[in-house]
Amino acid sequence: MNNSQPQTPRGSKRERIDDNTSPGEQHVFQKSKIIARSPQRERTHNQTEINMEEIKEMLREFNKSLKEDMAEIKREIKNDIKEIREDIKDMKKEIQKSKEEMGSMVEEITQVKAEWDKEKEAVYSRIKEAEDRMEKIERQKIRNNLLITGITMDAQNDSILVLWKK
């Protein structure tokens, strides 16, 4: 520490004590730091009443506009609810109509299935009859020693047209 300046305690510049200042001067500078508040202006009773009346009038206007806004919002909500209810009624009608259509479709499907089952049974019985006739013919052929050379079938009658005996 080879400085030419004298050592000062650490701190701000204002806290340092300089050799050039006297204690009286220091006291003056310390007072300059303190800021005195300006005296408050007192309001008169008339001014506060006027301000209160203005505030009350503003609150009345705000309340009135708020009520008008709320009434408008209520009307809009009621209209929206009415529209929604009508939409719900329409949807319920459509759902009921769809249910009825589905019921009639189920009935039709059941009827068609029953008809197909009857047709299937009829076809199976006709096939069974044809097989039985063929077996019967084959047994008779073996018993009677018949030789069948040509059988032509009529597609509409499913009957045997020609039988040749030998």
User: What are the φ and ψ backbone dihedral angles of 2, each rounded to 5 degrees?
Assistant: -110, 40
**What predicted TM-score, i.e. pTM, was given to this entire model?**
0.40
Residue 146 burial by CB count (10 A; 0-12/13-18/19+): exposed, middle or buried? middle
Low-confidence ranges of the chain (pLDDT < 70): 1-47, 146-166
Residue 81 burial by CB count (10 A; 0-12/13-18/19+): exposed, middle or buried? exposed
pLDDT given for residue 1 in this prediction: 46
pLDDT given for residue 111 in this prediction: 96
pLDDT given for residue 141 in this prediction: 81
Half-sphere exposure for 159 (CA within 13 Å, toward CB): 4
154 with 161: CB under 8 angstroms?
A: yes
Q: Secondary structure of the chain: what % helix, strand, coil (to 5)?
A: 70, 0, 30
pLDDT given for residue 165 in this prediction: 42
132 with 152: CB under 8 angstroms?
A: no
In the structure encoding, which two tokens stand for residue 38, read together? 């300006």
Residue from 124, 125, 136 nearest 160 by CA: 136
